[in-house]
Structure 1
Amino acid sequence: MTDTETISETTSETCADSRTRAQRANQARLLSEQADRYAVTLESVISVLRSSSMDDRGARETATQIAATALVRLRTATDDHLDALEPVAGAFSRLKEDVQPLVRFGKLDVEFVEPPTNGRALPGDVAHAARAIVRNVLLMLANAAEAQRSRVHWDCDGLNLLINIRDDGRGETQPHDDALRPVSEHVTALDGQMTVSSTPGWGTEMSISIPLDPVSAPAPLEGLPEVSGREQEVLNELARGARNAEIARTLGITEHTVKFHISKLLKKAGARNRAELISLMH
């Protein structure tokens, strides 16, 4: 085999590996989206069954309708093209559809402030992440049962998607709370920024900025002891916001093994948590 043939074969293998990695990442994102929707659906059903404004028959019928609608949506999932652009207003409308049952039958009153219709279109992964972020926050508020009202506002400055979420809860939420970890990791994975401002007795405001331009691929951490190939694969998955179960499915390993690799990476990097590790990669 000539040198040219060897280079050509190596290049082909590299391209095939890249395509496989992209397919796995896309599948993991779809699974994450489905998990978010399951959580919203279950919380909506529970809210209906607990509602004091409905009789037993009405509650059962409404809960059945919510579950049936979610099942139809699952069978006709439309999130399989995450690389496509979504108009910002359309992406926001999909968010409202996702959480509509939770808002309608839950105890949390949510006000949605529409984004400008002429805003720059959102890349599919940004639109997906933005919806997941807001759903996670609203679920957190609903489960905590401390806030009565929340306000969700999207805007676009041409370079970033701007998300603002306010609530009238106790005002005790802190940026490093465990409940906010999925949100902070999602934001960090997209090279975004998040600030949390809480005022005791007045509520909490979260301001999130997500860049619309593609995120550069994570590079190996410099100055560390040698990072193995498997550890680098785990880093890549962490960088896009994947959770342990998703990483395990994507890489074909157990969650215990994922935790083992993350623990080793944290020690090598001297990082205190996953979010800090992801930040060091960028």
Structure 2
Amino acid sequence: MTVKPEWLRVKAPQIQRVGSVKDILRDLSLNTVCEEASCPNIGECFNAGTATFLIMGPACTRACPYCDIDFDKTPRGLDSTEPLRLAQAVERLKLNHVVITSVNRDDLPDGGASQFVACIEETRRLSPHTTIEVLIPDLCGNWDALATILSASPEVLNHNTETVPRLYRKVRPQGDYGRSLELLAKTRQLNPQVYTKSGIMVGLGETDEQVKEVMRDLRAVDCDIITIGQYLQPSGNHLPVKEFVTPEKFDSWRVYGESIGFLQVVSTPLTRSSYHAEEVRNLMKLYPRDMVAVK
């Protein structure tokens, strides 16, 4: 793999704080995307006492060539104790904002929507002041399943478009760009009060104009927040990095995104979809919306 430029090098984490978060996760038998997907920000986030919880895993029913999460055509059944254990971790970590994501579970009729709802409800029961963000898969276009998740009224509904349309067949072969945009559009229709969010990786061969095209497409479905970060190759078996994009280019995308109406643009080389996700609480103060359940 190509040597990373200076701007992608991160400081070594403080082992004591990282260890204490890991101890809680191990004690409650929970998975995090921080660990499973080899996130470069794991040290910073764990040191801050935060984590993005990965439910219904750790194995995924899709084998996207950029992702470091394990592939399994026959993943395990759902664990009915997982929502409570997750909520207990949120309580013990004293999180102000929690991100709950999942592997793709194409084997389940509802794509795991009911498990998302159970996790939201248990978290609200134990930590009523914690804001909740769900980072969901495309649910194979099952909009009834989407409505189920939204019925629990998470504050933020995040679904990543991941890359530009031209690269979908190579990067996200089991995904569909139009379906991802439709999911975000349906979210706005089903629950106008929820904040919608999406993210893309760069450095896979896309052009500047193609990135801006995705940004415009997301604004066309009234997406509020976008994250843009550098793709990093997890291993020699994954897609190679085509380009290390400069911090200046990321900043130009931030400026462009703000100019076309995004409420928040998080665009840096080390940005990931849940990186500094807690900052959405400030956004909610600036642009408040009364949360209501889907009727």
**TM-score, structure 2 as length reference:** 0.31
Return the structure number with greater relative CO, CA threshold 8 A, min gap 6: 2
More helix by share: 1
Larger radius of gyration: 1
